[in-house]
Chains A and B, each alone.
Chain A
Amino acid sequence: MLLKDEVEMLRRITLFSGLPPAKLKLLAFTSDRVMYSAGEALFYQGDIGDAAYVILSGKAEVLINTAGGPFKIAEVEQNSIVGEIAILCNTPRTATVRTSTPLEALRIRKDDFLKLLADFPEMAVEIMRVLADRLAQTTAELSEARGPREPVDA
């Protein structure tokens, strides 16, 4: 897969879809292409995150640690991004991601990503927009989930 294919891939991720192609190319260039075999962990819950992963091919499971051992909460595949929260803020990983098939991913390092945002404010605005969308959606989902059970007090 060539640089220009990766750019195409990045464009399909909501977080990056609004960015200009030249910047996506730079993002792809500074990122590493990595390959995992089945059953390998991309990262572990609790570790400090240093990179996000765009899955180019293959599948992975998102697991969280519970008292009864790891518990699978989701599955991710091609064209999705994992670990992106960690490259935006300094939180430990909230889950473990383990591959279930051989997997190819683009590793976007936190430092590089933040550098890009700092240098190209238009990129930061675009990211902000996506995050705000997500927040709005989460808020909506939350109130929907609460709504029927707890009537609003005030």
Chain B
Amino acid sequence: MEPRLSRYIWTHTRKDQLWILVVVALSMIPYFLSFDLPKQIVNGPIQGDGFDSPEATQAFLSISFDLPYLGTINVFDGFQLGREGMLLALSLVFLALVVVNGLFKFYINTFKGRLGERLLRRIRFELVDRVLRFPPSHFKRVKPAEIATMIKDEVEPLGGFTGDAFVSPALLGGQALTALVFILLQSFWLGLIATLIVAVQAIIIPRMRKRLLVLGRERQLTARELSGRVSEIVDGIGAIRGHDTSNYERADIAARLGRIFKIRYDLYQWKFLVKFINNFLAQVTPFLFYAIGGYFALQGRLDIGQLVAVIGAYKDLPGPLKELIDWDQARQDVQVKYAQVVEQFSVDTLLDPKVQAVATAAAVPLAGPLAAVNVTVIDDGGSTLLDHVSLQVQPGEKLALMGGGEVLAEAFGRLVWPASGKVVVGGQDILEMPESVTGRRIAYASSDVYVFQGSLGDNILYGLKHAPLTDLVYEGERASHRKWEVTEARLAGNPHLDVESDWIDYQSAGANGPDDLLVQIRPVLDAVLLTNDVMALAVRSTIDPHRHAEFAAGIVEMRSALRQRLETEKLSDLVVFFEPGTYNVEATIGENMLFGTITDQAMWADALEHHPFFKTILQRVGLRDTFYEMGIEIAENVVELFRDLPPDHPFFQQLTFMTAEEIPVYEVILQKVRTKGKGEVSEDDQIKVIRLCFDYIEPRHRFGLLTDEVMAKIVAARREFDEGLPADLAGMIEHYRPNRFIASGSIIDNVLFGRIGHKHADGSEKIRAIVRDLFEAGGLYNEVLAFGFDFNVGAGGKRLTAAQRQKLDLARALIRNCDYYIFNQPLLALDQRVQEQVVRNVFAMLDQSGRDPAIVWVLANPALTDLFDRVAQFENGRLVNDANVDERPDYKEMAS
């Protein structure tokens, strides 16, 4: 990148800079006219110059030129106006000039602003573009947060400066020069003094600034490091807390802030010292004028009028001069910032832009074999990771790498660049081939997965988004907006690829379009065992039954199918269904009483304690005393179990009845019950105790409180609750109806319309498998799966487990139809047994789909070698054995 900011700005904004200079020059005309006008108004109409008699008139707007030899040429004689008329006319001209000046200013400022913003956009894009083209080794040296700070914050002032880069010095320099020339014309000697002082300023101040620049650079570097450290703290919070090193981090941050403070304070001191000297020099000049000029005047060598004129003219000099010096300061400031940033982004071995050129055409299959030719890889520390390895993978061949083939796999995946030798496909170096070929025909997956924030579906299909494949046609307002986007992008040197376009390369996933994509990628998801994870996420999501009315109806219909299915499989005890006339032991007492779910928990808790409805209804259905007794039992059990635990103990997550803070409250209530007797406790306390019952589930809590009689009473109370519910409480309860979708419930809740029995090991696993089957039978499977694709995976995919992330990465590589698949131990987070299963599934899936790609798999498990054609054994970075599987019967013994 261009190391000098001024040249960078000039190269990219030359035309605009020249245009704005012209406009600024033009704006000077009305500006100076407006200076002269007040004098004319005061002298003319107000004081009466030229209006000698009351009837006298003057010409307004007469245009005439005095030309040599030709005399005066009258273009327009003007209007004859009286004194009042003239006053009004001139005042209106003044107003017009004010407006014109304002408009000029407005235009110039917005133009400069746009200029700056465009340049900022250009430079930011250029920086990100460079990041995308950094060589792999460079990423080991830079911190993400520092790069981000540079792109986001450090180049920001550049935009503001761009507009003034050339206009300000031209304008202010012109003004200062005019003033200086004027002084020189008035009095040569005094003019010389003024020039001398200006020269001193021009020499001293920039020298003093040098120190400012050094400090400015330090400030920038320390601030950047600070942001790097802060992001390290966020990323490494687990390690920090785990090792109790938070105070070490505090000390480090405090020390850094101290250093930053010192630099910034130094900066202030210098800045204001420079300012002080600057002001001082500016004020010394008039002193010299008064002293020397005055002396000359007393001596009679200088006439007093001249002296006054010089002092008057000097008034106009410091202003522009000061602004010029400020401008220079800003220039140096941004120059330093710019140079700092550019230095960080100047890497010799950037990828050629041609390698990453956009290619919308489908990539042609790779013809030749993938081969490492005498490849040596050396890490940053200088140790040899791969030592002169030569290895060829024929198209369609299945090769297992064992004993340390990771680095070779990374070299195949272009994640490391060989120090010597090269990786070739059909004789061509893969680092020189366009990524539109290597990135589409070779797929790489490892256990070091990156998942982008967004939906699960976006991440699964990420490996298909190479280029915008459709030209979207916009209409109306959108069309003009798109046009604006394209022109603006061009003007700022950005590409204008449409991000809204459909980027998914359906063909390479074997699909014809969005409709059959899911069908095509299902086998892949099945093979890597991701389908069940996606399903689990899908069925736990809630949907809007109005927007997906048909789907919701389908789900409701499934309820009876599920019952039949469970009955035929003799698994009826797996789910306890909600029946209007029976108690559901797996649901809470509250749920059983309401026969519905609570949509607003906060409101519910409040109503339970204060609403008169609840106070009376329990009495009416004859449950109040029972619940009170039960509540006391629950309270006693809970207090006994949890009394000794610290309030932030994770066990409290299993406690649904009360929070840790409430335990002492209940201890006090129990104390009262014991001393005074059950009936003597206050009404409020009794309600608090009764409240506990609503969350009780017998098979889960196992306190042995529910009898058949109580259950029957609760079921009988349902009707009362349903019919007697006052209007102000109706909104927070959604009643269960066998033929209606529960909007506040998840998809699985709606299918089950009941609760999974607590006792069954893997009960939810079993039921999920059955439900999946039913979805398949009912033709809803893909629709449900699509809801799972909407799941937001969180920053860095943190809402998925490590195993899910790895499976996702493997899936997104397999979805794309490639000639070579490089799998670098992609499933480390999975159990050995499951890993094995996935590897076998992947081979079977590829077999079934009729694809016969080459596979290079870095394996840790020798049991799987029977799937491969060939096994290459590595030892200390060297290839020690490379043979076909059937030729090496002794292999397994050797490895074990």
Contact = CB atoms under 8 A, between A and B. Distances in A.
A112 B702 CA distance: 18
Interface stretch (B1-9, B58-66, B480-488, B753-761): B753-761
7 contacts: A6-B702, A22-B644, A26-B641, A29-B654, A42-B761, A44-B833, A48-B831
Of the four ranges (under 10, 10 to 19, 20 to 34, 35 or more), the interface on chain B belongs to 20 to 34
A138 B219 CA distance: 66
Contacts of B677: none
Given A2-B702, A25-B641, A47 B831 contact: yes
B654 A30 contact: yes
Contacts of A2: 702-704
Contacts of A3: 637, 701-704
Interface string A75-111: 0000000000000000010000000000011010001
Interface in A29-45: 29-30, 32-36, 40, 42, 44
Contacts of A42: 761
Interface in A9-60: 22, 25-26, 29-30, 32-36, 40, 42, 44, 46-48
Nearest to B650: A115
B651 A46 contact: no
Nearest to B651: A30
Contact of A34 (B641, B651, B761): B761
B699 interface: yes
Interface in B629-677: 637, 640-642, 644-646, 649-651, 654
A22 B703 contact: no
Given A2-B703, A26-B642, A44-B833, 15 more contacts: A1-B702, A4-B704, A6-B702, A30-B654, A32-B758, A33-B758, A34-B759, A35-B761, A42-B761, A46-B831, A48-B831, A92-B832, A107-B761, A119-B646, A119-B649
B695 to A, nearest CB: 14
Interface of B: 637, 640-642, 644-646, 649-651, 654, 699, 701-704, 758-761, 831-833
B125 to A, nearest CB: 47
B892 to A, nearest CB: 11
Of the four ranges (under 10, 10 to 19, 20 to 34, 35 or more), the interface on chain A belongs to 20 to 34
B831 A33 contact: no
A58 B173 CA distance: 98
Given A2-B702, A33-B702, A119-B646, A26 B651 contact: yes
A40 B760 CA distance: 11
A115 B651 contact: yes
A30 B702 CA distance: 11
A32 B644 CA distance: 21
B759 A33 contact: yes
Nearest to B834: A47
A104 B758 CA distance: 12
Contacts of A105: 761
Contacts of A35: 759-761
B32 to A, nearest CB: 82
A105 B762 CA distance: 13
A46 B640 contact: no
A34 B699 CA distance: 11
A29 to B, nearest CB: 6
Contacts of B649: 115, 119
Contacts of B650: 111, 115
B86 to A, nearest CB: 95
Contacts of B637: 3
Nearest to B760: A35
Nearest to A1: B702
B775 to A, nearest CB: 24
A111 to B, nearest CB: 8
B761 A36 contact: yes
Contacts of A4: 704
Nearest to B571: A37
A112 B649 CA distance: 10
B699 A33 contact: yes
Contacts of B642: 26
Contacts of B699: 33
B833 to A, nearest CB: 6
Given A3-B703, A29-B641, A119-B646, A34 B833 contact: no
A46 B704 CA distance: 38
A51 to B, nearest CB: 10
B654 A46 contact: no
Contacts of B833: 44, 46-47
A115 B756 CA distance: 28
Nearest to B761: A34
A44 B646 CA distance: 36
Nearest to A48: B831
A34 B702 contact: no
Contacts of A104: 759
A25 B640 contact: yes
Contacts of B645: 119
Contacts of A1: 702
B630 to A, nearest CB: 14
A5 to B, nearest CB: 9
A50 to B, nearest CB: 11
B834 to A, nearest CB: 9
A29 B644 CA distance: 15
Contact of A40 (B640, B704, B761, B831): B761
Contacts of A29: 641, 654, 701-702
Contacts of B644: 22, 119-120
A3 B832 CA distance: 37
B699 to A, nearest CB: 7
Given A34-B760, A107-B761, A119-B645, A22 B640 contact: yes
Contacts of A112: 651
The 7 closest A-B pairs by CB, nearest first: A34-B761, A3-B702, A2-B704, A35-B759, A47-B831, A46-B832, A2-B702
A13 to B, nearest CB: 18
A99 to B, nearest CB: 10
B660 to A, nearest CB: 14
Nearest to A93: B831
Nearest to B832: A46
A44 to B, nearest CB: 6
A56 to B, nearest CB: 11
A26 B645 CA distance: 10
Contacts of A32: 758
A42 B762 CA distance: 10
A29 B643 CA distance: 14
B259 to A, nearest CB: 40
Nearest to A5: B702
Contacts of B701: 3, 29
A119 B644 CA distance: 9
Nearest to A92: B832
B862 to A, nearest CB: 14
Nearest to B704: A2
A42 B761 CA distance: 9
Contacts of B703: 2-3
A122 to B, nearest CB: 11
A105 B649 CA distance: 26
Nearest to A4: B704
A115 to B, nearest CB: 6
Contacts of B758: 32-33
Nearest to A103: B761
Contacts of B641: 22, 25-26, 29
B405 to A, nearest CB: 23
Q: Which of A29, A47, A112, A120 has the most CB of B within 10 A?
A: A29
A60 to B, nearest CB: 12
Contacts of B702: 1-3, 6, 29, 33
A29 B657 CA distance: 14
B696 to A, nearest CB: 13
A120 B651 CA distance: 14
Contacts of A48: 831
